[in-house]
Amino acid sequence: MRILLAEDDKNLGDALKQGLIRHGFEVDWVRDGQAVLYEASQTNYSALVLDIGLPLQDGFTVLKELRVNKSRVPVLVLTAQDGVESITQGLDLGGDDYVIKPVALEVLAARLRAIIRRSEGVTQNELKCGDLELNPLTFKARLRNEEIVLSKKEFALLQALMLSYGRVLTKSQLEDQLYSWGHEVESNALEVHIHHLRKKIGANHILTIRGVGYQLKD
């Protein structure tokens, strides 16, 4: 799952980015409100971690503009202000949840997984589709109750498909989930990951919708 992190403090931002990567997220990091609005308009992020105290445009303004522009990206508001008014304003402007700094990375990662699940209409952390099971907490996948070994990209690809079960995902949407900034994407990289994943879970589980993209089938 690829997320956008908006935090202007260099040390905190770097710590949050590295911590979230260890929790299995692909992370792009920006430091001002204008950059948030631009990047959110260019990429299909699974979620946005939005600090309220951003320069150029504060988090409240950014959140308001995102929702005015019909962005449906789940937003986790990150604030050092523990007052009821600040929290209420963030939620009323369209935030999906909030955390107060300093925050334990385990809590931040869990809140992110929760708002992403809700945005996809999923109620449980463990994903199931027919005889496939996937647990984002343990980074383990099972097929007919037998554990299967997946690479990081294969796991992320299967997770994206399972979260969007019943919908077709385009090549661009899947690539957005698999690669953060600084990773060069070869033209056939996604197809290679699809091929390897099919060999491990069965070719019948991933449908190619010609000219559109891919869809998971149970």
Q: What is the pLDDT of residues 184-205, one digit of tens each?
A: 666 788 899 999 999 999 888 8
Is the model more confident about 4 or about 173? 4
Average of pLDDT values for 13-40? 95
Looking at residue 189, what is its pLDDT? 85
Domain ranges of the chain: 2-119, 127-216
Query: What pLDDT, on a 0 to 100 scale, did the predictor assign at position 95?
Result: 95
For residue 77, how far is the Cα from the chain centroid? 15
Residue 175, pLDDT score: 84
> What pLDDT does residue 55 have?
96
Average pLDDT over residues 135-162: 89
Q: Quick one: pLDDT band at residue 30, thresholds 50, 70, 90? A: very high
pLDDT at 65: 96
> Domain 2-119 carries which CATH code?
3.40.50.2300
pLDDT value at residue 184:
60
Looking at the predicted structure, is the pLDDT value of residue 22 above 80?
yes
136 to each of 34, 108, 126, how far by Cα in Å?
Answer: 32, 14, 7
The answer to whether residue 181 scores a pLDDT higher than 70 is no
pLDDT at 183: 59
Residue 185 is predicted with a pLDDT of 63
Q: What does the mean pLDDT of the chain come to?
A: 89
Q: Do domains 2-119 and 127-216 have the same CATH topology?
A: no
Task: Give me the CATH topology for the region 127-216.
Answer: Arc Repressor Mutant, subunit A (1.10.10)
pLDDT at res. 199: 92
Q: Give me the pLDDT at residue 64, please.
A: 96
Tokens of 135: 């647990």
Higher local confidence (pLDDT), 54 or 81? 54
The answer on pLDDT for 14 being more than 90 is yes
Structure token pair of residue 57: 């445009």
Q: What is the DSSP letter of 101?
A: S
Per-residue pLDDT at 121: 79
Closest by CA position to 71, among listed 85, 50, 99, 102: 50
Whether the CB-CB separation of 141 and 150 falls below 8 Å is answered with yes
Q: If you search the block for the tokens 């019948």, which residue do you land on?
A: 204
